[in-house]
Chains A and B, each alone.
Chain A
């Protein structure tokens, strides 16, 4: 399996490759776009630190990566673009292509069709923003010319296996670190705005991170049970606290994902500080190396992976921040 890592600046590229990244992905900031569409981002990240600052920076990054035979993919993964945006969008695409990017990450089926029509031959990777949960959906997009599908985060290992087995010939990427959204990414229509400042005062927090006040269903006596009024609140508070910030992780599943034929592991983290990006890549690389060099049972691998995670991130493994919590649940049942 190959590692896909986020990059935001040319200065990061070589270090990420040296750390073990097989492929890089990034955004590209566009002042023209921001001037016209403001909080309606071009690639799911309004913050400037989460994208290349200029096409020159992108070209420089691509040059460094290509010298090491590492491809660079540009995120163009907003959930939708309207017809009036397409001319500016294609200017943006052409700039990225002129900088040498190898592929585009797209989420909007209309954009898939438009690129296929106007710029045939571009390698297209489907974003998790499109939501592929079954092999029929994977084949639908394979028929449209998509070469790789980033699978939805909220799938069990068994469900991922069903998609991969049912759609041979298309690459599959699975998130392995960071950014475990509370909702199905492609089926969440909250605005994805996170910009501090007076004008944005209602939008400084991602809209999905909201407090939950529980109200029993008046039609059902069970809803008045004291447990019902406590547990969901506690659960919501745990969820708010950890879902973005607690380093969600899925490395325990590396053996299973490898056996299923998953081709790529993706690290979330556009906008993260460089040391964090490097630590993430080194962490996943070391585990892939461990897996390749030792024929340990899955349980032994998991034990080593958790020890390493604890050492690197100083955080315990928790079900709520695990990409594949069924592994922990299975162990709890066994014990």
Chain B
């Protein structure tokens, strides 16, 4: 048992306008992009959200990144450090953690939901329990319950980890590690790709041109719904990422070290 503290509410926003309209109950704002480096905000947009936070905490979410993306991130982290010293940074790439450790020690690293690998395919909601207690227990946790790993993360300055509200339930034991967890709801990510099916999806004749190519941010315009045999819920492909929806919070939040809820008013894309 982890003995988490009082529940904090955070709001995932996509612009300074949304940040300024956040309801009073949200003491923290999440901003940035977790899934595509092309969708990272500009420095000016990041500064504007920090300015609109009005005393709320800022958590800057970041995606997995190529060398180029890491370079862009460096500039954004500089801006964040100036605009909001001590802000949280959710890293979803081990290279970003190294960057934070070596160049931005004033920012607070948080392990993102892409890096702990807890299974999220919706059909697991039915499958997990069909194969015995030990199999089900496996799918309700991840390697964040390994004390050696917990100590390693703490040694890197990580005090928080981010979780999706998986359909099979969560039974993560953060023990006495000092790590705390946030829970994203209602949208959880399942899988992400760099071979984006949304890129040029409105262009006939380019159906087989799937690769790491340029795009016109078609992801901003289209949402694809995915039907899967065995899945109890709808899945959504937004841009390069597939999401599921689950608004029902687990009963044992504190038992899994969860002391923050991150509300996503829309698919976080």
Contact = CB atoms under 8 A, between A and B. Distances in A.
20 contacts: A36-B134, A37-B135, A81-B143, A82-B146, A110-B144, A138-B95, A155-B212, A166-B67, A186-B117, A190-B120, A190-B191, A191-B119, A211-B228, A212-B197, A212-B226, A228-B202, A231-B204, A235-B201, A325-B210, A326-B212
Given A82-B143, A159-B67, A318-B208, A154 B226 contact: no
B98 A140 contact: yes
B66 A134 contact: yes
B9 interface: no
A203 B127 contact: yes
Interface stretch (B11-19, B21-29, B217-225): B217-225
Contacts of B99: 136
Nearest to B228: A210
Contacts of A183: 191-193, 242
A253 interface: no
B118 A80 contact: yes
A111 interface: yes
A212 B198 CA distance: 12
B95 A114 contact: no
B225 A215 contact: yes
Given A140-B95, A140-B97, A329-B213, A238 B190 contact: no
A39 interface: yes
Given A159-B66, A329-B209, A82 B197 contact: no
A187 interface: yes
Given A111-B143, A133-B95, A189 B67 contact: no
A320 B208 contact: yes
A140 B66 contact: no
B207 A113 contact: no
Nearest to B166: A189
B43 to A, nearest CB: 20
Interface stretch (B44-52, B81-89, B147-155, B250-258): B147-155
Given A189-B118, A203-B127, A134 B226 contact: no
A290 interface: no
Contact of B225 (A140, A193, A214): A214
B202 A325 contact: no
A126 to B, nearest CB: 10
B67 A135 contact: yes
Given A215-B224, A235-B197, 19 more contacts: A36-B132, A82-B137, A82-B138, A82-B146, A83-B147, A110-B144, A114-B149, A130-B94, A134-B67, A154-B193, A159-B212, A202-B127, A202-B229, A220-B221, A231-B207, A235-B208, A238-B207, A318-B208, A320-B209
Given A140-B95, A187-B114, A231 B123 contact: no
